[in-house]
Amino acid sequence: MNGARQNAARHTAMPDRDKRPLGGRAVLLILCAVLLLAVILSFTLGRYPVGLNELQGILRYRLGLYHGEPFWTQAQSAAVWNIRLPRVLLAVLVGASLASAGAAFQGAFQNPMASPDILGASAGACFGAALAIFFGFKAAVVTASAFFMSMVTVGFVFFVSRFVKGERVIGLILSGIMISSLFQAGTSFIKLAADPGDKLPAITYWLMGSLVGAARDEVTFVFWPMLAGFIPLILLRWRLNVVTMGDDDARSMGVHPGHVRLAAIASATLLTAASVSVSGMIGWVGLVIPHMMRRLTGSDHRFLIPASALGGGLFLLIVDDLSRSIFPGEIPIGILTAFIGAPFFLLLITRRSLS
């Protein structure tokens, strides 16, 4: 009986399944192929030229699969292995994390305007990074401080929301707005007190969002928190479908909506904290990409969350490629995502309802 109810829930929670131009699995396969192609081409882009032939030779040599004489230069090898590899990986990881977190928040809160910074994770990370930069710590400490303060901020939001009377979800959102404002004020105070000739520009640049100087240590640092946040979202996909039907219907299907929301919010917050700690403030990815993917997969979270991850990784990788290849001086990626994301989101909301 429970199995029948669960199957019914899965089908009932996907009202626009038949409106997809492609099947969900076909969309995922196409996104995987396009992302893989974009990753390969990204290694060849930049101010120092590296051809596809040199790229495959360098990668094979580094993996121990090539034992002949190198036909590439040391500079090309260093550019691919030490600069472009961590940056490409970080762009994909951050974009995938922010987009999948945005899809999870929109499903958990049943709000199409929910984004990864809704609970103050971004504001806390900015405060932690600004504080570390103010005291002159190195990049690794700045990243760790941003991640730590991001998690502390969200924990504080959950603590405060327990004392808010009324609906728990509304309490969380209101607490997130209030705590975010406090930490944003703290960041502004640090900028006011920072040395305008040295530390203030560094803080300002970090807050704009950038992947400049990405290192393999940063990829290693954020990979495990991102994995720990993404796996539960994958496991909770069909339960999020049931939760969107309403709490009463979800309980009748044997799903506890409060537990599902809490797990989804915690996982999405972990993804957001890890992303912002290494990239700074990168907006619009977690808001726009889930809506773009919803046009392709429908509202079925079984396909929406992985599609958002793939689409987010692809989007941020392309924007980062533009940032480091087209312009004479590299523009912070957070500025470019706003320039691209805001008009695109305007197009989405004028052509179709977001509900």
Alpha carbons within 13 angstroms on the beta-carbon side of residue 285 total 41
The share of the chain scoring above pLDDT 90, in percent, equals 55
Q: How is domain 2-14+22-351 classified at the CATH fold level?
A: ABC transporter involved in vitamin B12 uptake, BtuC (1.10.3470)
Q: Where are the alpha helices (DSSP H) in the chain?
A: 2-12, 24-44, 52-62, 74-78, 85-109, 121-134, 139-161, 168-193, 199-208, 216-235, 237-243, 247-252, 257-279, 285-297, 301-325, 333-351
- Give mean pLDDT, residues 169-187: 92
SS3 326: coil
What digits encode the pLDDT tens for the residues 336-353?
Answer: 998 888 888 788 777 765
Q: Is the pLDDT of residue 187 over 50?
A: yes
Please tell me the predicted confidence (pLDDT) of residue 6. Answer: 47
Instruction: pLDDT band for 21, please (50, 70, 90 cuts).
Output: low
Task: Encode pLDDT of 209-221 as tens digits.
Answer: 989 888 899 999 9
Q: Give residue 15's pLDDT.
A: 45
143-176 tens-digit pLDDT: 999 999 999 999 999 999 888 887 878 888 899 9
For helices 257-279 and 216-235, the axis angle rounded to 10 degrees is 170
